A and B are shown apart, each in its own frame.
Chain A
Amino acid sequence: MSTETLNAKFIEIDGVAQTFKTKQGSFSALRDINLTVAKGEFVTLIGHSGCGKSTLLNLIAGLTIPTQGHLLCANREIAGPGPERAVVFQNHSLLPWLTCFENVYLGVERVFGAASKSTGAASENKTQLMARTDAALALVGLTAAAHKRPGEISGGMKQRVGIARALAMEPKVLLMDEPFGALDALTRAKLQDELLDIVARTQSTVVMVTHDVDEAVLLSDKIVMLTNGPGATLGEVLQVDLPRPRSRVALADSPAYLGYRKAVIDFLYTRQAHVEKVA
């Protein structure tokens, strides 16, 4: 496969369905999911609660394996989780007994340290690993809090450490599961701006789950809208062609921005407002 097609189909999701076994029998969470993500693309998954957004993200992460179909990342089957697909969890999931630095270092050490036999890269020494950790914390503006424990910093700072931990591993794909969902509106806006900036600098490929329409339009190149579950599938894929860098203030009254916003709201509240209409 040529580099160009590989770049266009960096993540390839082909005919994926996910069924969970419950006590009441099997429950179909996702069906007929076909989606590609290009290298460097920012894709958000949006939909109502319980539509399987997080399930789809977990499938890309490799935390769960699909019951049908298959997923490819860089033309290799996703068979399990790995540091090349770093995850930023909804509730930050930092280890409370480690400092911010140690939390980030844990991932860095695994990817670039002596234990990184699988990647084939030359292992780095401790100074280099610590420099990488410091750089990641500096990227999210947390150098000063590096030696604090997660219990001693605010929710927004914790989420930034989670992002630093993911970015420090230099992943091929950054997967984010409602990373700002638990934050207040002002902190969320600040972190969204920071994320825009970081993604622009690192040229990351990002798949992000959200339930916030403005967040989706502001950040994405592509918004993937899911229908209501059970048996959710792709409802509509919206290409967002707003120029970058984007500024939330400038976009607030831009007709293009409002048009995209309206399209997503239409989908969520008119066409997918009730489960009965789909079923």
Chain B
Amino acid sequence: MVSAVFHSPSATASPVVARFDTRSGYDWNSLLMAVLPPVLGLLLMVLIWSMVSMATAGSIPTPIDTAKQAIDIFSDPFYRKGPNDQGVGWNVLASLQRVGLGFGLAALVGIPAGFVIGRFEFMSRMFNPLISLMRPVSPLAWLPIGLLVFKGAHPAAIWTIFICSIWPMIINTAVGVQRVPQDYMNVARVLNLSEWKIVTKILFPSVLPYMLTGVRLAVGTAWLVIVAAEMLTGGVGIGFWVWDEWNNLNVKNIIIAIFVIGIVGLLLEYALIKIASAFTYEEVKS
């Protein structure tokens, strides 16, 4: 009956909803696809690790022994027993501090330099050959120069980080400035905007996504380089910790250090991607 349908919308609506529910249900399939492959990957790694451990007759420790050691280490990450025996937490923080300082200085120099190189063709032609020459050099090659000039291991490590993280920031910022759409610059000319307005309202927002890509690459490289730099300079730091544990023949701690380095690097990358996507505007993305 027509009237019945019109007067009882809830009665007609509910079976529809119910049918819809039973058909869709919970999407177990995609959950399985999201969880199963990564878990299998981890299991494969543990399997190969165990086989290597068996093949080397225990000189590479088993996953279980390493896990036990890790629980032990992470139960007290912030202890201090003299300058060469500190908790893993202190070592990671020391490395992060060096990366932060070196990277921060590189950003202070590199981002303005990138703007200048991108904005003025003369500067671009002047500095591009230098950048092309310096960029492929391993930053560790600069470490002796740092030791010589700054007369200390700590500033030399920061100097190395500075050198390795400055190139991606200069290059990406410069490319960003060069790729500011001509349309936007035409708008600026027609509106007769002041140089300050051009920088704040047009150049900076449109370069920002490129700049953040540079920052992300720079931090990634810096985290790679700090481990090697600290192996050479010593002191406190995750890289030195690896080297120290090698000298103590404590392979379990080396493996733990590898995981710690990996996880910290992953977190840095993830945080920077989050920041970058928050500052990227729809039309710039595409």
> Which residue on chain B has the smallest CB distance to residue A162?
B187
Q: How far is the CA of A106 from the CA of B186 in the complex (A)?
A: 14
Q: How far is the CA of A110 from the CA of B190 in the complex (A)?
A: 11
Stretch of B12-20, B59-67, B197-205 with 4 or more beta carbons under 8 angstroms from chain A: B197-205
Q: B194 to chain A: which residues have CB within 8 Å?
A: 110, 115
- Please tell me if B3 contacts chain A, counting CB pairs below 8 Å: no
- 21 chain-A/chain-B pairs, Cβ below 8 angstroms: A61-B190, A63-B190, A81-B189, A81-B192, A82-B192, A83-B190, A86-B190, A89-B186, A93-B183, A93-B184, A95-B205, A96-B282, A96-B283, A96-B284, A97-B205, A97-B206, A149-B282, A150-B283, A151-B282, A151-B283, A169-B191
> Which residue on chain B has the smallest CB distance to residue A91?
B183
Q: A95 to chain B: which residues have CB within 8 Å?
A: 184, 187, 201-202, 205
Within B163-183, which residues are at the interface with A (CB < 8 Å)?
Answer: 181, 183
CB distance from B21 to the nearest CB of A (A): 33
Chain B contributes a number of interface residues (CB within 8 A of A) equal to 20
Within A38-86, which residues are at the interface with B (CB < 8 Å)?
Answer: 61, 63, 80-83, 85-86
Q: B201 to chain A: which residues have CB within 8 Å?
A: 95, 98, 106
Q: How far is the CA of A93 from the CA of B282 in the complex (A)?
A: 14
Q: A91 to chain B: which residues have CB within 8 Å?
A: 183
- Please tell me if B249 contacts chain A, counting CB pairs below 8 Å: no
- Please tell me if A87 contacts chain B, counting CB pairs below 8 Å: yes
Interface size class of A (residues with CB under 8 A): 20 to 34
Evaluate contact between B192 and A83: CB separation under 8 angstroms.
yes
Q: How far is the CA of A151 from the CA of B192 in the complex (A)?
A: 25
Evaluate contact between B205 and A81: CB separation under 8 angstroms.
no
- Please tell me if B127 contacts chain A, counting CB pairs below 8 Å: no
Evaluate contact between A89 and B183: CB separation under 8 angstroms.
yes
What is the interface of chain B mostly: helix, strand, loop, or mixed?
helix
Q: B283 to chain A: which residues have CB within 8 Å?
A: 96, 150-151
> Which residue on chain A has the smallest CB distance to residue B183?
A93
Q: How far is the CA of A107 from the CA of B201 in the complex (A)?
A: 12
CB distance from B176 to the nearest CB of A (A): 14
Q: A63 to chain B: which residues have CB within 8 Å?
A: 186, 189-190
What is the interface of chain A mostly: helix, strand, loop, or mixed?
loop
Q: How far is the CA of A271 from the CA of B281 in the complex (A)?
A: 47
> Which residue on chain B has the smallest CB distance to residue A150?
B283
Interface membership of chain A positions 169-196, coded 1 if the CB is closer than 8 angstroms to chain B and 0 otherwise: 1000000000000000000000000000
Q: How far is the CA of A149 from the CA of B205 in the complex (A)?
A: 14
Evaluate contact between B189 and A80: CB separation under 8 angstroms.
yes
Q: How far is the CA of A96 from the CA of B187 in the complex (A)?
A: 13
Q: A97 to chain B: which residues have CB within 8 Å?
A: 205-206, 281
CB distance from B199 to the nearest CB of A (A): 13
Evaluate contact between A93 and B186: CB separation under 8 angstroms.
yes
> Which residue on chain A has the smallest CB distance to residue B205?
A97
Q: B191 to chain A: which residues have CB within 8 Å?
A: 83, 106-107, 110, 169
- Please tell me if B193 contacts chain A, counting CB pairs below 8 Å: yes
Evaluate contact between A110 and B186: CB separation under 8 angstroms.
no
CB distance from A47 to the nearest CB of B (A): 22
Q: Which of A98, A110, A150 contacts B192 (CB 8 A)?
A: A110
CB distance from B183 to the nearest CB of A (A): 4
* 12 additional contacts (CB under 8 A) given A81-B186, A83-B192, A95-B184: A63-B189, A81-B190, A81-B192, A86-B190, A89-B183, A89-B187, A95-B202, A97-B206, A110-B194, A110-B197, A115-B194, A149-B282
Q: How far is the CA of A36 from the CA of B41 in the complex (A)?
A: 75
Evaluate contact between B184 and A87: CB separation under 8 angstroms.
no
CB distance from A86 to the nearest CB of B (A): 7
Q: B186 to chain A: which residues have CB within 8 Å?
A: 63, 81, 87, 89, 93
Q: How far is the CA of A26 from the CA of B145 in the complex (A)?
A: 52
Interface membership of chain A positions 127-159, coded 1 if the CB is closer than 8 angstroms to chain B and 0 otherwise: 000000000000000000000011100000000
Q: A98 to chain B: which residues have CB within 8 Å?
A: 201
> Which residue on chain B has the smallest CB distance to residue A102?
B201
CB distance from B272 to the nearest CB of A (A): 20
Evaluate contact between A110 and B193: CB separation under 8 angstroms.
yes
Evaluate contact between B193 and A106: CB separation under 8 angstroms.
yes
